[in-house]
Chains A and B, each alone.
Chain A
Amino acid sequence: MTEQQPQPDGIDSLKNAYERVDLPLGLETRIQAGLAEARRSRRSARLKGVLVAGALVIVGFGLSMVLLSTPPTTEATAPEKLLHHAEIIKVSGTVNVSWGERHQPATARLPLPEGATIRTDRDGSAVIEIGPHRVLLDRASTLQVQALAKQQLAFSLIDGRTEYTVASLTAGSSFHVLSDGLTVSVVGTRFNVMRQQQCSIVEVTSGKVSTRYDQEQLILGAGAKQEFCPTETAVPEPTTTGAGRATRMGREASPPPPLSELSRALPSAKPTSPKAGRPSNRRDAGPEGGLTDEEKLIRLAQVQMAKRESRSAYRTLKSYLDRYPDGQFVEEAMFNLIRQCYKLRRTSDIVRYSERFLRRYPAFGTRSAEIRVIYAQILLEQGKEAPKAFGLLATLIERLDSTAVRYRGQVIYLYALAAYRTNRPELGRRWAQIYLRRFPNGRYADRVKDIIGSTDNL
């Protein structure tokens, strides 16, 4: 029975969204697989119990002790880990699958357990689906499924060429491809891994991957192609198929890689001379794959900001601005520095850098709008230069409906306050009333009521 009552604000959006939620692709299959695994595991545990009890009765205490001391099998005691359901969804030509003692030709909808090896002949290819991810196995290739756990997916490329389409990964989960000492870790992307004789080649179509080879880590962006060969082979020049620009564009456009990846990547970067036989990830490599020092510094700041380490981020950004006053990320660095100063309540720095920022980037945009709000708030908090704060806020009020202006409630409140402080009580009162109309339960409601209260006698 449903009770018909007037719905409060926002409940309609809630209802609307609730009705539209659908099951993600493959989740139902995974639940079924998980349930089957759980049932198998329980049955096996029960069977073991019965066998052990029987053995106790029949053989006697001595033998039963032996049985009890036998290490339990993995199946009986392993915790029920959540697994991805992996299966071959498309086969063409000759493709064989083997695991344990079993060998069989691959067919569509063939489930793949951990440890399965898929081999394609010269005329064959196969597509494997693992939850939301896909792997294309090209001709004459061999791939082994190493791990299918929800938290860790891993494949080992033994020979040939494979193409991966990886959906976004959840926090704490990972997707790795291993190929003769090379480890490619994914950040949500499309990429190929090829094996040619002694060398492994990684080609990133979109997104970004992190590679680790012989203790060196390299982050490859969209468009990058990189060869990894053992030291004793001929020196292969890093191949760059338009990778210079593509890598950079990929880095800027795509979301930052997981913190753990970056945290590991950044300190390990060693600006030394290239060694023969291996690709370089030093600053000289530049856009060919590695990060330049300038990029590393800004990346480090991003990581620190994401981890909410404001003080470290503040120091890194300051160091960036000192070292690269005309660098390519100056606007981003200055903007973030002001935000960190705001978090750390470094008012003098806020004033200094906001002045510099607005002088250097006078055009109106999202960043400059936010800097104006921060700067005006600090000026008003300090109780000085209210006219300046009023001027800064007036430009925001003029463009209040622009998408560049965020924190509209705060802007209106500060404008009302600045107007009141600069002997414009009617204007202050009017905007305080506007605030209350637009945000009756907003954060600044009490403060604007004070402004209205103190202008009651007008």
Chain B
Amino acid sequence: MAPDNLLTRCQEGDNEAWRSLVVQYARAVYRWALFFGIFQGDAEEITQEVFITASKKIARCRGEAQLSSWLFQITRRHAANYRRNLWFRKIVHHKEGVPKEPVELAVNGTKTHLSLELQQVLRGMPLKLVEVLIMHDLDGYSRERIATELGLPSGTVASRLARARKLFKENWSETN
């Protein structure tokens, strides 16, 4: 189903369209949540919350905007809230949020893991840098498209991307 058509049908409250939307984008949302540095169990909850938010706000989704970018922005906002709450939990309730088990990745039926170090490095980076890194290096968006979707000048995107890569490289080498 073409995204435009899907969006219109979702806005009309078509249950089948919503089912297709979940099937198409659930994996992407879950992946973004994980790579925003959210722990696995919480990433699952945030994925659910993203779709609930989307169902409430779908009327505001602009037709010209890509559905995936819109969902990405919702995920980003949830991730930002989560990071703030994580800090609050640690400071006020003295609760440790670090999981004991790394995230399981399924590859052709066999199980492997997303390293905790990798998530640690991403969690240690500012969200505005991580989002550019995910969009450009992982999702393959061009700088111009990122600039349009984030409402930033192209130069800002370029500098954030350079900073993100540098910081990631530094933290990664230090972790290893």
Contacts and interface: CB of A to CB of B under 8 A. Distances in A.
Nearest to B175: A10
Given A34-B48, A150-B45, A14 B137 contact: yes
Contacts of A42: 56
A171 B23 contact: no
Nearest to A33: B48
B114 A17 contact: yes
Interface string B46-77: 01110110011000000000000000000000
Interface stretch (A20-28, A50-58, A377-385, A428-436): A20-28
A267 interface: no
Contact of A15 (B15, B39, B44, B138): B138
Contact of B22 (A28, A39, A168, A172): A28
Given A11-B137, A18-B35, 8 more contacts: A8-B169, A9-B169, A10-B121, A14-B137, A20-B106, A22-B105, A27-B48, A34-B48
A321 interface: no
Given A9-B169, A35-B55, A171 B97 contact: yes
Interface stretch (A228-236, A287-295, A359-367, A439-447): A439-447
B157 to A, nearest CB: 11
Contacts of B105: 17, 20-22
Contact of A307 (B15, B48, B94, B170): B94
Using C-beta atoms within 8 Å of the partner chain, give the interface range for chain A: 35 or more
A28 B26 CA distance: 7
A82 B45 CA distance: 8
Interface of A: 1-3, 7-11, 13-15, 17-18, 20-24, 27-28, 30-32, 34-36, 38-39, 42, 80, 82, 150, 168-173, 255, 259, 306-308, 439-443
Nearest to B19: A32
Interface of B: 13, 15, 18-19, 22-23, 26-27, 30-31, 34-35, 39-42, 44-45, 47-49, 51-52, 55-56, 94-97, 99-101, 103-107, 112, 114-115, 118, 121, 133, 136-138, 140-143, 145, 165-166, 168-170, 172-174
B22 A31 contact: yes
A293 to B, nearest CB: 26
A306 B97 CA distance: 11
A442 to B, nearest CB: 6
Most buried by B among A10, A21, A34, A442: A21
A429 B98 CA distance: 39
Contacts of A308: 94, 96
B107 to A, nearest CB: 5
Contact of A34 (B27, B52, B115): B52
A39 B118 CA distance: 37
Contacts of B35: 14, 18
22 contacts: A3-B142, A8-B165, A8-B166, A8-B169, A11-B137, A11-B165, A14-B168, A18-B31, A24-B30, A27-B30, A30-B44, A31-B48, A31-B51, A34-B52, A35-B22, A35-B51, A35-B52, A38-B52, A39-B15, A170-B41, A171-B99, A306-B96
A14 B173 contact: no
B26 A441 contact: no
B94 A8 contact: no
Given A15-B138, A21-B105, A27-B30, A10 B173 contact: yes
A23 B27 contact: yes
A424 B145 CA distance: 57
A13 B165 contact: no
A441 B171 CA distance: 9
Contact of B56 (A18, A38, A255): A38
Nearest to B25: A31
B115 A17 contact: yes
Nearest to A29: B22
A21 B112 contact: no
A403 to B, nearest CB: 14
Contacts of A10: 121, 168-169, 172-173
A440 B172 CA distance: 12
Contacts of A21: 27, 30-31, 34, 103, 105, 114
A11 B47 CA distance: 24
A302 to B, nearest CB: 12
Given A32-B22, A308-B94, A441-B170, A168 B101 contact: yes
Nearest to B29: A31
A80 B26 contact: no
Contacts of B13: 39
Contacts of B138: 14-15, 18
Nearest to A36: B15
Contacts of B169: 8-11, 441
A42 to B, nearest CB: 8
Which of A18, A150, A307 has the most chain B CB atoms inside 10 A of its CB?
A: A18
A14 B118 contact: yes
Contacts of B100: 168, 255
A3 B165 CA distance: 15
Contact of B48 (A3, A82, A170): A82
A125 to B, nearest CB: 28
A80 to B, nearest CB: 6
